[in-house]
Amino acid sequence: MHIMARTLCMAAGLAMLAAAGSANAVESANEPWPSLAASLFKDRPLLDGTGVIAIEMPARAEDAAIVPMTLRRTLAASDGRTVKAITVVIDENPSPVAAVFSFGDKANVSALSTRVRVNSYTDVHAVAELSDGHLYVVKTYVKAAGGCSAPAVKDAAEANAGLGEMRFRVFPAAAKAESAPREAQIMIRHPNNSGLQMDQITHLYIPAFFVDDLEVWQGDELVVGMKGGISIAQNPSLRFTFVPNGANFRVEATDTEKHAFKGSWPAAGM
């Protein structure tokens, strides 16, 4: 059951990423969101997501290459539904779909933070898919970074060093209770190069090279998964809350050049 749901989710995610590319190509100079939404969600109704999820970003992208973003589940505990996935769309970026996050049934992830690139003044939409199949949307607006901040890698020669190295950390528990939610962070070293630029030495376009798939597991239970695009910042980082199940952690990731990266860590101490 888990496996099937996961496969379906992956297929949907890939379709979304592909659709986003074509949506961008035909984008008008006006508001990109209506056609992005139509293309990504096949005209399924997008309900107001207030009280379902929230998206937090700074009002201004300070460093265009590293803009913190937090997604929170605000769905009332009494609501019987769960959040299955959240799609993050940075409307004005060259490839608007930043990521599709999927959530395991039992890990109960209620907050997720990552870092994205922001090219210009833009709406950022987060669309949650709930367990009943309904879609809910929230948005925020981010002003572009000022001055000479570009959404590019800072140290190009060093960016490929330690490719795929992972760091995983479970933060100390705030409460003693065994079932209390905990917080963890996975980081993976990767240039997550957005491509598209002309390399003036070789006169070739640098191909995009990024982590396209990352999953965090506790034993056989998915905690959180990410289908990533080029808008995820260099050295992707996911920080998330979860409920420990006592099993060891396992992280599996791949990039667009089919490198596979794996890591495992002991269970979160109670």
Partner 1 sequence: MAHSRLWRCAATAMLMMLAWNTVADGAESKIAPLDVTQIAPGVFVHFGRIALMNRENVGAIANVGFIVGTESVAVIDTGGSVREGRELRAAIRAHTNKPVRYVIDTHMHPDHVFGNAAFVGIGAEFVGHANLPRAMATHGPHYLESFRESMGSALMDEVRIVPPTITVSGTLDLDLGDRRLVLQAWPTAHSDNDLTVLDVASATLFAGDLLFVGHVPVIDGSILGWLKDLDGLGAVAAQRVVPGHGPLVTDWPHGMSDERRYLNCLVDELRAAIRGGVPMAQAVKSACAAESDRWALFPEYNIRNATAAFAELEWE
By the criterion CB under 8 A, which residues form the site for partner 1? 56, 58, 62-66, 68, 70, 113, 115, 119-120, 144-158, 167, 169, 171-172, 183, 187, 189, 197-201, 206, 233-235, 237, 239
Yes or no: say if 239 and 112 are a contact pair by the CB < 8 Å rule.
Answer: yes
Nearer to partner 1, 34 or 162 (CB): 162
Least Å from the CB of residue 100 to partner 1: 22
Least Å from the CB of residue 256 to partner 1: 18
Yes or no: say if 164 and 81 are a contact pair by the CB < 8 Å rule.
Answer: no
Q: 66: Cβ–Cβ under 8 A, 6 or more apart, which residues?
A: 115, 117, 233, 234
Nearer to partner 1, 135 or 216 (CB): 216
Q: Which two tokens stand for residue 84?
A: 């299955």
Least Å from the CB of residue 159 to partner 1: 9
Nearer to partner 1, 39 or 256 (CB): 256
* CA neighbor of 123 nearest in space, from 136, 137, 142, 138: 142
The DSSP call for residue 87 is: E
Nearer to partner 1, 82 or 149 (CB): 149
Edge-to-edge order in the sheet of strand 67-73: 53-56, 67-73, 111-116, 237-242, 182-188, 166-170
Yes or no: say if 71 and 126 are a contact pair by the CB < 8 Å rule.
Answer: yes
Residue the block writes with tokens 């006592």 = 246
Nearer to partner 1, 166 or 222 (CB): 166
Q: Which two tokens stand for residue 7?
A: 């496969």
Give the integer Cα–Cα distance in Å for 18 and 2. Answer: 24
Least Å from the CB of residue 237 to partner 1: 8
Least Å from the CB of residue 198 to partner 1: 5
Nearer to partner 1, 28 or 200 (CB): 200
Yes or no: say if 194 and 211 are a contact pair by the CB < 8 Å rule.
Answer: no
Least Å from the CB of residue 57 to partner 1: 9
Residue the block writes with tokens 């700074």 = 58
Nearer to partner 1, 77 or 201 (CB): 201
Least Å from the CB of residue 67 to partner 1: 8
Give the integer Cα–Cα distance in Å for 237 and 113. Answer: 8
Q: Which two tokens stand for residue 195?
A: 């491509």
